[in-house]
Amino acid sequence: MEIVPDTSVVIDGRVSEQVEADADAASEADGKGFAGATVVVPEAVVGELEAQANDGRETGWEGLEELQRLVDLADDGTVDVEYVGRRPDAIEKREAGEGEIDALIRDVAQDRAATLVTSDDVQAEVARAKGLDVEFLDPVVRDFDRLQIENFFDESTMSVHLKTGVAPYAKKGSIGDMHYQPIRDDPATEDELRDYAADIEDAARASPDGFVELSEPGMTIVQFRDLRIAIARPPFSDGLEITAVRPIVKTELDDYEHADELRDRLTEHQRGVLISGSPGAGKSTFAQAVGEFLVDADYAVKTMEKPRDLQVGEEITQYTELGGSMEKTADSLLMVRPDYTIYDEVRKTDDFEVFADMRLAGVGMVGVVHATRAIDALQRLIGRVELGLIPQIVDTVVYIEAGEVDTVYDVTTEVKVPQGLMEEDLARPVIVVRDFETGRPEYEIYTFNRQVVTVPLNEDDDGDDSGVDRLAKQEVEREIRSIAHGHVEVELKGPNTAVVWVEEGDISQVIGKGGGRISDVENRLGIDIDVRSLEEKPSGPSGGPATESGGRQGEIVTPEITSRHVIVPLEGHAGDTVEVQADGDYLFTATVSRGGEIQVSRGSGIAEELERAVDRGKTITVVPS
């Protein structure tokens, strides 16, 4: 008798198990047992197992161990083992889920007129349809009431961190008071972690309580009940590592400050909400509470998550990437038309664009964003969406700190003269960010002299310039530097008056014929400017924390000068508003493009000043604005 096992029974270890059982029962005499049979192993099975093992998947290792057990049984004379057929090519291995390798295995069984042994329902049905003799073995079913790794958890444990050669660690405590500490003296071994990983992946495949969220070479992410488990393997990581995280508290909206006001706000009409905070602050816990409140308030709620780990009720369907794209998920959700969608982890530009598209389509959106201040969450939209659309996309910002609602902002648009500026012709659309509880304006965001600026209001009068004062000072300095050749210093004398000190030889250049040039600057900025010689300036620095002109230490960059632009590379800062400085002296303020750079057109005053600084060997730096 010849039998051809497929990958499913090899991984489960069913072939050697059945051979040993038949040998014990001496059932080979009736011709139906596996003992005494020839086990014909297709090279397609070996190739698939090898590929899985190379990807770090436990199924591959388990299958290879089963093949070794069959070799041992062959050495004992219990069975014969042959390897036949051809190995699958790269495309066939990549498309194993489409049945390419199963087809190669069936071909071997058909050529040898052998019995195909499988635990795969689909494989069995296809083989029978093709007239093959099939022996179906029920898949191994385990009781996954508890994973082995759960033994490391107690009631105060939020996460467990295991790595080969390192003592196990855990984060314990309460929200806002977590401590990373060892929980065992002995280091974890490779065999121990492989055993845990196999247990986790088996549970994800076999239990209805689990699923594989992500499976890539070197990284597997599993959701099992309330545990999110990441298994990292070399070469992606420098050693086998398992990290398991679970929520330690489940809350309701009533547990938070401003609960009544937030309930009214969320149910008044569909909102655009950003829930922000530092890692571990309790953002997702609050988002879960908001989602379950909305369901109780008769709203249809869905989630968009990668990975799916919000602990929400069964009434809320949790979606992940569709075809590797959240944009496709959003397109599907627009067909479902939920009242609210919770977007967990809005991080990249694509995430913000999807969030904005959903919101502008009329869907209420609740996004979870990493930010160290409430205003930072809103600023992450700058440069990613049109400035004027921000209040339509996000009208509420909730900042969570240590598991509590720390700050709530209301976001609106007004056409007005920005606070601190005086001229009526400076009126423009202004995004006003107000404290939700008091109604007091906290920030204004608007375009000033072609740059997007975020100006804090109501700062304490401790002798430092206010946000508007700093902005006005920067813009005056930028304008005068584009005209003057030498050193420039600026001092504000009032909300709409400034004194500019320049070198003696630059005074006529700055003022211009009949005062025309300085008048143009005054009209653009809405500020009266008095031009004086540096020799008239009282001795002493003009007031700056690090340099003569108030510069701060920043990231050193090397501008690239092309035929049309001066390009300042700022990879990793897309959407940030920054100051560009030369040897600590302010040059200009700009918002970094999506491509991670600032482009200044050659021939402009800013570009000429930047080129002069480069030619003179000055150090060009950028600092957050």
Closest CA to 363 of 320, 296, 299, 313: 299
State the total domains in the chain: 5
CATH of the domain at 494: 3.30.300.20
383 pLDDT higher than 70: yes
Does residue 414 lie within any of the structural domains?
yes
How does pLDDT run across 106-148, given as a tens digit for each residue? Answer: 999 999 999 999 998 899 999 999 999 999 988 766 667 789 9
**Is 461 domain-assigned?**
no
C-alpha torsion 274→279→283→284, nearest 10:
110
Contact 242, 231 (CB under 8 A): yes
Q: From the CA atom positions of the chain, what is the Rg in Å?
A: 33
Are 278 and 228 contained in the same domain? no
Note whether residue 598 is domain-resident: yes
Q: In what order do the strands lie in the sheet with 577-582?
A: 555-556, 620-624, 577-582, 585-591
Is 435 in the same domain as 579? no
Alpha-carbon distance of 488 to 134, in angstroms, equals: 88
- Per-position b or e across 42-81, b if 16+ CB within 10 A of its CB: bbbbbbbbbbbbebbbbbbbbbbebbebbeebbeeebbeb
Q: Clarify whether residues 568 and 617 are in a common domain.
A: yes
208, 228, 245: which is the final residue of a domain? 245
Residue-wise pLDDT for 428-444, tens only, equals 899 999 999 899 999 99
How many Cα atoms within 13 Å fall on the side-chain side of residue 477?
A: 25
- Do 509 and 362 lie in a common domain? no
**pLDDT score recorded for residue 467:** 56
Average pLDDT of the residues in 407-433: 85
- Complete edge-to-edge strand list for the sheet that includes strand 488-494: 488-494, 497-502, 528-533
Cα–Cα distance measured from residue 273 to residue 397, given in angstroms and rounded to the nearest whole number:
6
So what's the pLDDT on residue 541?
A: 38
> Residue 210: which domain range?
148-245
CA distance 478 to 518: 13
Task: Output phi, psi for 406, to 5 deg.
Answer: -90, -45
Cβ(296)–Cβ(316) below 8 Å: no
- 548, part of any domain: no
Reported confidence tier of residue 456, pLDDT bands at 50, 70, 90 = confident
Look at residue 142 and tell me if it is in a domain: no
Q: What is the mean pLDDT of residues 413-418?
A: 88
Range of lowest pLDDT (97-106, 127-136, 264-273): 97-106
pLDDT at residue 67 tops 90: yes
Report the pLDDT averaged over residues 246-273. Answer: 89
Q: Is the pLDDT of residue 249 over 50?
A: yes
Q: Output the six-digit token pair for 347.
A: 């991080």
Q: Give 63 or 496, the one with higher predicted confidence.
A: 63
Q: Is 405 found in the same domain as 257?
A: yes
- Last-in-domain residue among 79, 107, 136: 136
Whether residue 302 is contained in a domain is answered as: yes
pLDDT band at 572 (very low <50, low <70, confident <90, very high): confident
CA–CA separation, 517 and 537 (whole Å): 22
430 falls within a domain: yes
Q: What mean pLDDT do residues 456-468 have?
A: 60
Place of tokens 């497929």: 6
**Cα separation values, 546 from 168, 541, 542, 584, 622, Å:** 45, 11, 11, 8, 14
DSSP 346-374: --SHHHHHHHHHHHHTT-EEEEEEE-SSH
DSSP, collapsed to helix, strand or coil, labels residue 546 as coil
* Mean per-residue pLDDT, 49-70: 85
pLDDT over 80 (residue 240):
yes
Residues 48 and 196 both lie in one domain: no
Q: Hey, what amino acid is at 37?
A: A
Residue 283 lies in a domain: yes
pLDDT at 212 over 70: yes
Q: Is the same domain home to 25 and 126? A: yes
Percent of the chain whose predicted confidence (pLDDT) is above 70: 90
> How does strand 597-601 pair with strand 301-304?
unpaired
Domain of residue 107, CATH code:
3.40.50.1010
Given pLDDT bands bounded at 50, 70 and 90, which one contains residue 81? very high
389/529 same-domain check: no
Per-residue pLDDT tens for 228-238? 899 999 989 99
Is there a single domain that holds both residue 128 and residue 161? no
Please name which of 265, 243, 262, 246 lies closest in space to residue 254, comparing C-alpha atoms.
262
For residues 366-395, average pLDDT? 91
**CB-hemisphere CA count at 13 Å for 308?**
21
Residue 424, classed as helix, strand or coil, is helix
Question: Are 300 and 386 part of one and the same domain?
Answer: yes
Q: Are residues 45 and 119 located together in one domain of the fold? A: yes
Among residues 218, 245, 272, which one ends one of the domains?
Answer: 245
Q: What is the pLDDT of residue 27?
A: 45
- Model confidence band, residue 211 (pLDDT cutoffs 50, 70, 90): confident
Give the CATH number for residue 203. 3.30.450.90
pLDDT, tens only, 6-45? 998 998 888 888 888 887 775 444 545 788 889 999 999 9
List all residues 6 or more positions away from 440 whose beta carbon is below 8 Å from its beta carbon.
434, 458
For residues 50-68, average pLDDT:
85
89-93, 171-175, 512-516: lowest mean pLDDT where?
A: 89-93
Q: What's the pLDDT score for residue 93?
A: 61
For the cut 60, the answer to whether the pLDDT of residue 553 exceeds it is no
Token digits of residue 156: 């105060």
The per-residue pLDDT of the chain, averaged, comes to 85
State the average pLDDT over residues 507-536: 85
Is residue 461 predicted with pLDDT exceeding 70? Answer: no
- Are 446 and 388 in contact by the 8 Å Cβ rule? The answer is no
Q: Are residues 131 and 173 in the same domain?
A: no
- For residue 322, give the DSSP letter: B
